[in-house]
Structure 1
Amino acid sequence: MGQLDNLPENSEALDSQATEALLRTMTQELQNLKQNLIVQLNQDVERLQAEKNRLIQEIDGLQSQRQQQVEQQQQQLQQLSQNLTSQLQEQLRQQLQQMADTSSSAMTSPVGANLLPGEYNDHAYRLLASLDSTLSTTFKTLQQDINSYQSALSQQLGQMHSLEQQGQVILETLVNRLNQQLQTAVTQPQLPPADTTVTSRQLPTAKPIPLEFPGAPLPIPQPPKKKLSELQLGFFLVLLSTVALSIHNVVVRIVGNPSQLLGLFTIGGVLKLDLGNSLLILWMRMLVVLPLMVLITKFLYPAVWRDLKTFFTAKDTRSILNVIGSGCFLFLSQVLIYIAIGDIGPGIAVTILFMYPIITVPLAWLLFGDRPTLLRFGVMLTISLGVVLAAYPSISSTSSMSGFGVGTAVGSGVAFAFYLILMQLGFQKLHPVPVSLVQFSTIFVLSSVSLILPLPFSVNVLPENQQGLIIGGIILGVLTLLGYLLNNFGVRFLGAARASIIASTGPVLTAILAFVLIPGPKTALQTIQTVGILLVTLGVFALSFERMIVQRRAAKTAKA
């Protein structure tokens, strides 16, 4: 699909050759600085990771060694205690035996028989004193051994604690150094946001993000070098995303108009796709998408809530208005395209929606100074001719609603162009995932407020159609989320530039799926309409292909 033109460097006089040379020099220096910073940060991260792994291994080894030593010391103490107990028992047994022998001999021998009672007691006391002295000496030796083991264990624990503190100091030093470098990169002086005049512009702070299919913002482009299997997987995921979003448009048509599903049976037509009912369908769609988005954003981008808090507390009013404004224009574009799909069918409505490069290319020139190339002028002419051919049968029709449907489709394309411009500005300050969350939240709030306030339109749903409306809203929400996730993961493997080329097939896929899923006079295309759809698709494809070539050249220049 189409893609925003690269944001230019700051220029005071576009026609001045000296200024252009200065801009080229500044661009080269910024690219070199960026490349050097990325290489240095990658080296620091790798060194930090290696040091972390080494410290973890050392700590694990010390803990294992400590555990082994504790177990050995416990075993030694237990064995020593058993040995001491055995020795004490043996000595006590010997002493008692000696006492018994002495007493027996004293009582039976002539000498012992001649001992007086007082002398016999003194002899017993001497034996008990000798036994007490032996026990005291044994317990003192045991206490000394225990104190020695305790001292050795304390020394080893102290060494382990010292190593742990050293490891913490090393980690803190590495982390602080990396944080300082990151803060230096983030807090580099930046010029004010882009002005609406030609003579006051800014240097870009983020790579341009391609213009993608409605309602599915793409993440930041990933490195272009991918393995073949990853490219195939990315191609398959992005193609499935485009198919899911095309089916979404067909389902909108089914909800608003009775249709023959695969030509077998009639379904849909639960409500007329006017302004009020379109708001209701969009609200029900967001009622499914938004809670699921809140759950999966942490998985897609772990720092989403931290970035949103920093973004909204930074008091950068212009950036906040850009992000919220992009959600407002996306809301308007979605409401208008629903009305158009109900009037002129999904294939023609989406084809007219893809007229947005006619708006975005001049706006990029006006706001960012990105002068269109001859190819872009040719793309604008091709898309304009394709839109006229696709819309001509509806405009020339006697039905007044057909002309109204073309008008709402054109309005949807214009609103979508402004959504893309503001989204591009929002990506300069915020990651695409939190930007998408803010956009979906804005759509939900606007659709809710529009349905609550007493505005001059009504919502008409018959009781017997309420169940079908709920089912349709759930299907639309699931298809939206599925298209977003498939596109998000597909771009990670394929790259944003290639993904935009695949997404440019949206008008053709929508027309084909509408003709296959709900065949009938409303989805059958005339030859002139088919030619128009192919011209619009070819124009958007060429614009996306040009952006991919420009990005490759810029990447090669940066590496050189």
Structure 2
Amino acid sequence: MPKHAPEQRYLLIGFLLVLLGALGFAAKAILIKLAYAVSPDVDALALISLRMLFSLPFFLLASVWHNRKQSKEESSLTAKQWFLVGLLGLMGYYFASYLDFLGLQYISAGLERMILFLYPTFVAVFSALFNKRAINSRTLIALSLSYAGMALVFIEHLSWETDAVWLGSGLVLGSSVIFAFFVMGSAMMTRTMGSGRFTAYSMSIACVVTISHFVAARGIEFWHLPVEVYRLAFIMAVFSTVLPSFFLNAGIRRIGAGSASIVSTTGPIITLVLAHFLLDEAITQTQLLGTALVLIGVYVVSRAKA
């Protein structure tokens, strides 16, 4: 066997892990739309709370595991670090997720995924503003392509749907902006505490806060919905929340953030295909063109950032 065969296998596993993570995240919007279609009693708060309720045991177990394997070189988190982990967890997995779930009550899964996938462009813009540095011409062209592609897709959806598309798109855009801030903050935290540990802790906190929100608003009655809703929520928790989070982290460790960003661009394409076959959402030439422009722009920005 050639000496480089183990290394190739290691990289191949990394690519597969990132691809599986992208597939899981891409399926989330489809599962949400399917759950909304089951019963009019299903809303964003109920669905995101069920998702977090089913996810919490997995992330608590991961948190315990990370504590047990913590080496002597890894010091315990300070009060400031715990605050930042909690704040970022709420930003990325509570506020951003809640806005995303709300938005999907009004717009298609394909449009939602396109808007959400713009977050790397917001990271590039915000990073330039905070660091007081100019955006180079290559990144400017990439940003222009992404926003032009998004405009094409959005304008086409305006011709299909009611005024609710403005509300839904605005909610998902807010989610994308908040998630961009989360990504910027999490990049700093993962350097000091590791990506797996950060994911386990921040997701556990977000799960507890989301469930507490539901209990404060509606009490402890979680079991008044059709069985199909719980089945979809459990699938979403396991295959579109828990596993993708750790698959992506493991994949990035093997192939690097730059290569992972390339593989992750398959996400919106997967969502479009799944939405077409499972939700009967149309795929048009304008939508394909807009999607291609967004993906090209995000790819260039992500490579430059990496």
Question: Which range, TM-score by smaller chain?
Answer: 0.7 to 0.9
How many Å apart are 1:385 and its aligned residue?
Answer: 0.9
- Counterpart mapping for 1:186-201 below 5 A: none
Task: State which of 509, 518, 538 in structure 1 corresponds to 2:296.
Answer: 538
Larger Rg: 1
CA distance in 2, matches of 1:324, 1:370: 29
- Counterpart mapping for 1:161-310 below 5 A: 227-257=7-37, 269-271=38-40, 277-297=43-63, 303-304=69-70, 310=76
CA distance in 1, matches of 2:107, 2:167: 9
2:195 pairs with 1:437 = no
CA distance in 1, matches of 2:251, 2:230: 30
Q: Which runs of 5+ in 2 are unaligned?
A: 1-5
Indicate how the Cα distance of structure 1 residues 398 and 291 shifts in structure 2: closer, same or farther if over 3 A, else same.
closer
- Counterpart mapping for 1:374-523 below 5 A: 374-397=137-160, 399-454=162-217, 463=224, 465-479=225-239, 480-518=241-279, 520=280, 523=281
How many Å apart are 1:510 and its aligned residue?
Answer: 0.9
How many Å apart are 1:254 and its aligned residue?
Answer: 0.7
One-letter code of the match for 1:231?
Answer: L
How many Å apart are 1:391 and its aligned residue?
Answer: 1.3
Q: Deviations over 1:280-301 (max 9, x none)?
A: 2122112222211232456568
2:85 pairs with 1:323 = yes
* Structure number having the greater helix percentage: 2
Structure with the bigger RCO (C-alpha within 8 Å, sep 6+) is 2
Matched-pair contact (CA < 8 Å) for 2:91–2:182: yes
Q: Deviations over 1:75-108 (max 9, x none)?
A: xxxxxxxxxxxxxxxxxxxxxxxxxxxxxxxxxx
Indicate how the Cα distance of structure 1 residues 454 and 478 shifts in structure 2: closer, same or farther if over 3 A, else same.
closer
Task: Give % identity.
Answer: 22
CA distance in 1, matches of 2:294, 2:108: 17
One-letter code of the match for 1:243?
Answer: L
Count of residues in correspondence between the two structures: 300
CA distance in 2, matches of 1:349, 1:322: 28
SS of equivalent residue, structure 2 residue 283: coil
CA distance in 2, matches of 1:370, 1:414: 20
TM-score (norm 2): 0.86
SS of equivalent residue, structure 1 residue 342: coil
How many Å apart are 1:446 and its aligned residue?
Answer: 2.4
CA RMSD of aligned residues (A): 3.0
How many Å apart are 1:308 and its aligned residue?
Answer: 9.1
Which residue matches 1:91?
Answer: none
TM-score (norm 1): 0.49
Q: Deviations over 1:291-318 (max 9, x none)?
A: 112324565685459899721xx34x3x
Q: Which runs of 5+ in 1 are unaligned?
A: 1-225, 258-268, 549-560
CA distance in 2, matches of 1:301, 1:368: 35
CA distance in 2, matches of 1:373, 1:427: 27
Indicate how the Cα distance of structure 1 residues 461 and 431 shifts in structure 2: closer, same or farther if over 3 A, else same.
closer
Which residue matches 1:137?
Answer: none
Q: Deviations over 1:308-349 (max 9, x none)?
A: 9721xx34x3x4443222112211111121222232221110
One-letter code of the match for 2:118?
Answer: M
